[in-house]
Amino acid sequence: MVIQVNEVESEADCSKAAAEDVAVSNGTVAPVTSSSAMPAAKKRQRRTRIPDKPYKPLNLWSIMRNCIGKELTKIPMPVNFSEPLSMLQRLVEDYEYSEILDKAAMASDSCEQLAYVAAFTVSSYATTSNRTAKPFNPLLGETYELDRTDDLGWKCISEQVSHHPPVVAQHCESKNWICHQEFSMTSSFKGKYLQVKPLGMTHLTFLSSGNHYTWRKVTTNVNNIILGKLWVDHHGDMEIVNHKTGDKCALKFIPYSYFSPSEQRKVTGAVMNAKGEVVWVLNGTWDNKMEASKVAEKRSQVKGKQVLETEAPVVVWQRRWPPLEAEKYYNFSEFACQLNELEEGVAPTDSRLRPDQRLMEEGDWDQSNEKKESLENKQRATRRARELEAELAAQEGRPVPQYEPIWFKKEMEPITNSVHHLYKGGYWECKEKQNWSVCPDIF
């Protein structure tokens, strides 16, 4: 890994700025200082679509027959199976419906707030209903920033902090809330379907109340890998916990069954207070909308079982469907189309500057595949050099150097008492100064 250090002030200044930039340090909410406040900015004009996807037929079975039982992240895949976004960018799509969190911040009580948080977690799966292509695996040290303070009121920074296993650390903040997550996954090809099991946890803190929520993502299956049309299903249980009040939400993503087609993509759930009493009931689908019904004070008994009487349901999330022509460009929503739009001043490690991904978006898949192989070979050479340095240090009795992310640091997260990559600050200050000397040369 090549790191250019042109100015002594760069790392020191960025570290000093971290204290001003971070609103959460070691999991503790801190007041946002004037330096990290989000001033009103002129709303920029963003693109609404990307170039059409070219028609490039490929023999799927010739590739997949050698992948059975293997870890997906270790299988070299041509871009023909991908979409022109990295996993860093794909994870930022979790905030496409960030207005739900703004509504949650204004909720009258913690249980109502939790109902909105639950709807937000479900909304992040909507785009997968008609998108089955694989995002690009980020290179070690690759970053992605998205500053939408001018229109959506938040900004986000993500970094690939580990390559084996692949781990993404992400930090997103607004004036009302802060959300950070560490994302990894295990994936395997089962012959008829691909199964993805997410690892890691998401943390969400509301600044006015200090309510701190955590949850984990559910399992995903990509079906009809060999024959037929690809389709995605999400299934499993998700528990969302408010660590301040003790409120909990239990969500169930019901797996698709050929015997119960009406249950397809269905999500049910309940919000319970600290006493275990159900306060809100949730129903909907992960691809369209979620409704929440408040439990009435009166509860009846039917055959010895308690039946909850609820008020009229309220829509807490409604999907914004992409236009029909989106089929021509990877079924991207308007928000997804804007993720890879070129911007000035981003870090040299930003996913927008990754050449193989840019070539794919522009329709030059042959050149994209060649560049992808070149970048992966460069990453392997860097890893081998790092391993050789570690061996040499061990032989000489020196401390073995470990890879350290640029913008995140492994720390004990006090809410869950688990080790987590937390944002250590400095990114936005370095961007303001246009001092990227701490960034590695990965592209």
Q: For 92-127, what is each residue's pLDDT tens digit?
A: 999 999 999 999 999 989 999 999 999 999 999 999
| Positions of E strands within 273-407 | 278-285, 289-302, 305-310, 314-318
Quick one: pLDDT at residue 286?
A: 97
Q: Which helix (H) or strand (E) holds 430?
A: helix 427-433
Burial class (CB in 10 A: 0-12, 13-18, 19+), 303: exposed
Q: Which residue has the higher pLDDT, 19 or 437?
A: 437
Quick one: pLDDT at residue 193?
A: 85
Positive/negative CA dihedral, 157, 161, 166, 171: negative
- Helix residue ranges, H only, 41-109: 60-64, 87-92, 99-105
* Percent of the chain topping pLDDT 90: 69
Quick one: pLDDT at residue 77?
A: 76
C-alpha span between 267 and 252 (Å, rounded): 6
How far, CA to CA in Å, does 331 sit from each of 49, 250, 263, 326, 393? 10, 31, 24, 5, 50
Is residue 273 scored above 60 in pLDDT?
yes
| Beta carbons within 8 Å of 32's beta carbon, 6+ residues apart | 23, 173, 175, 207
Average pLDDT over residues 349-354: 98
Q: Are 316 and 405 contacting, i.e. CB atoms less than 8 angstroms apart?
A: no
Nearest to 82 by CA among 379, 357, 364: 357
Average pLDDT over residues 292-306: 77
Looking up tokens 């999500």 gives: 267
Q: Which residue has the higher pLDDT, 359 or 40?
A: 359
Nearest to 160 by CA among 408, 348, 337, 332: 408
Positive/negative CA dihedral, 242, 187, 349, 95: negative
Quick one: pLDDT at residue 66?
A: 52
Is residue 143 scored above 50 in pLDDT?
yes
Q: Are 171 and 25 contacting, i.e. CB atoms less than 8 angstroms apart?
A: no
Is residue 73 scored above 90 in pLDDT?
no
Q: Among the listed ranges 4-13, 190-199, 323-332, which one has the minimum average pLDDT value?
A: 4-13
Kindly give the pairing relationship between strand 289-302 and strand 418-423: unpaired
- State whether residue 176 is helix, strand or coil: coil
How far, CA to CA in Å, does 5 sit from each of 9, 386, 429, 436? 10, 18, 17, 9
Quick one: pLDDT at residue 138?
A: 96
Looking up tokens 């050698």 gives: 66
Quick one: pLDDT at residue 298?
A: 62
Average pLDDT over residues 264-271: 95
Quick one: pLDDT at residue 41?
A: 54
Quick one: pLDDT at residue 31?
A: 37
According to DSSP, residue 135 is labeled E
What are the structure tokens assigned to 117, written together? 């948080």
Quick one: pLDDT at residue 348?
A: 98
Helices (H) and strands (E) in the chain, counts: 9, 21
- Amino acid identity of residue 77, one-letter, is M
Nearest to 219 by CA among 262, 188, 263, 182: 188
* Percent of the chain topping pLDDT 70: 84
- Break the chain down into helix, strand, coil percent, rounded to 5: 30, 35, 40
- State whether residue 98 is helix, strand or coil: coil
- Helix residue ranges, H only, 1-139: 9-21, 60-64, 87-92, 99-105, 110-123
Q: In DSSP terms, which residues pair with 410 in a beta bridge?
A: 421
Tell me the HSE value of 23 on the side-chain side, using a 13 A CA sphere.
28
Quick one: pLDDT at residue 271?
A: 98
> Residue 187's pLDDT band (boundaries 50, 70, 90)?
confident
| Beta carbons within 8 Å of 164's beta carbon, 6+ residues apart | none
Cis peptide before 313 (omega within 30 of 0): no
Q: Are 395 and 389 contacting, i.e. CB atoms less than 8 angstroms apart?
A: no
What are the structure tokens assigned to 172, written together? 């997103």
| Positions of E strands within 104-165 | 134-136, 143-147, 154-163
Q: What is the pTM of this model?
A: 0.85
Average pLDDT, the chain: 87
